[in-house]
Copies of this chain bind each other. A is one copy, B any other.
Amino acid sequence: MNPDGVAAIHKGAMRILSEIGIEFLNPDAVEILRGAGCKISNTNVKMDEDFVMEMLAHAPAQFTVTPRNPQKSLVIGGPYMAFGNVSSPPNAWDLERGKRPGDFETYREFIKLTQFFNCIHFAGGYPVEAIDLHAGIRHLDCLYEKLTLTDKVVHAYSLGRERVEDVMEMVRIAGNLTPEEFESRPHMYTNINSVSPLKHDFPMLEGAMIHAKRGQAVIVTPFTLAGAMAPVTMSGAVALSLAEGLAAIALLQYINPGCPVAIGTFTSNVDMKTGAPAFGTPEYMRATQMTGQMARFYKLPMRASGVCAANVPDGQAMWETSNSLWSAVQSGTNVVYHAAGWLEGGLIASPEKFIMDCEVIQMIQRYFDPMIYATGSDDIAVDAIAQVGPDGHYFGCQHTQERYETAFYDPLISDWSNFEAWQLNGSTWTAERAHKMYKGIIAEFEAPPIEDSVRDELKDFAARRKAEGGVPTDF
């Protein structure tokens, strides 16, 4: 978009906030915003541009989230791009077992994949729901596994105060932190979604406000499907998404000025014939890019996703996912949710897809290595070209010998052999090779080190909270 386009979307978002207003379905949030001078009518909150922009000015353009292993700290914002696993599918699918409901053992497998791949920087929500665990205690078992099988940044679902506070306590224990140390800087994050159009629900706002008060990071990601819960035009869907997102961020900045936040986008379109959501479409890519321009305008870190509508890890899955991941690159996205493992519009987590996505992510990360587009005189290599001349080849020359080990991207499961060699190797399609790698990773997985005392304290905390009955499940 040119500057006029940016100004037009900004103006649209501000008109939505000031003239139409956002429903805050949380009385505490409404009272806070009333105190801030917003216009309130029951749950409807209207904010004017001055207030919103004043609040946004508090938000940091870049911040760091420090997990129990500080070497896995996550910088969010600026030139950085972080990738996380698929989050929240109720089902799993793999080549061997087909589609089935998520369970705790499968959850553990995905957490191991999340830890194994260096290209995955943080653990998102549950990579698959552990349906076999009661919802009242699921977070305790799941976080115990997440905090012991990985040492990367973790996440809390904003599904009620008790869950959020349990997760915070477990992250504090895992990091061996005092409550003061925990609150002194970000150690975890939550992601909240608005209920588009124009609404933020009670538990999401509650969780976000707890995070903001305690200095933990909040990503606000409206879920605006153009043509369904958002306008059929992409800039309309983006304007609505921004209005919803900025409203929540303004609230959080009023509560704790300077608290770490990011604006997310999850704007795509539906198939107008069936209402089915589509992902990785040209419209999705443009919406992501437009949101990226707006995030830079507001100087906020930005979140996008790696998504597809495909049901199995096939060609469609990879062009849709490639489109979404590359649009994250093009939009200047800082945090890529669902970057590995997503199928069926987020209803399926697949280990084969996880590994296939990791190949794409690794290529994106390599793409950013300045080495491959360096133009120093050694790179341009006129001397080597003179030396090899018209009849030689470059395999053996000194210029190649000095560089060949790191000159090129090293593939993960791509098979670059010719057809006959590929046939001798079993004629495996990509998903089959990924399946084999997945089994190997799980079989040989080694958890990162953790002090026994910390592990015991985490275990005790989870056991005690389970004994106390877990958390309410009447959501």
Q: Which positions in A face B, CB cutoff 8 Å? A: 1, 4-5, 8-9, 11-12, 15-16, 19-20, 22-23, 44, 91, 93, 99, 197-199, 226-236, 239-240, 269-272, 274-278, 281-283, 285-286, 289-290, 309-320, 322-323, 326, 344-345, 347-348, 356, 359-360, 363-364, 366-367, 369, 372-382, 384-386, 388-390, 392-395, 399-400, 403-405, 407-409, 411, 413-419, 422, 427, 429-431, 434
Contact = CB atoms under 8 A, between A and B. Distances in A.
A363 B282 contact: yes
B382 A315 contact: no
A359 B319 contact: yes
A347 B416 CA distance: 13
Contacts of A399: 231-233, 236
Q: Which 9 A-B pairs have the closest CB atoms?
A: A236-B381, A12-B380, A315-B430, A231-B381, A198-B390, A5-B375, A282-B367, A322-B322, A318-B318
Given A281-B363, A373-B5, A15 B382 contact: yes
A8 B380 contact: yes
A371 to B, nearest CB: 9
30 contacts: A8-B375, A12-B377, A20-B386, A227-B400, A229-B394, A231-B384, A232-B407, A232-B408, A233-B399, A234-B372, A235-B379, A236-B381, A276-B417, A278-B411, A281-B363, A282-B363, A282-B367, A283-B372, A286-B373, A314-B429, A315-B429, A315-B430, A316-B356, A318-B318, A319-B319, A319-B322, A319-B356, A319-B359, A319-B363, A344-B418
Q: Count copies of this chain in the complex.
A: 2
A240, A310, A311: which has the most chain B beta carbons within 10 Å?
A311
A117 B5 CA distance: 34
Nearest to A293: B373
Contacts of A344: 418-419
B390 A347 contact: no
Contact of A20 (B367, B385, B416): B385
A390 to B, nearest CB: 4
A414 B315 CA distance: 9
B236 A379 contact: yes
A399 B232 CA distance: 7
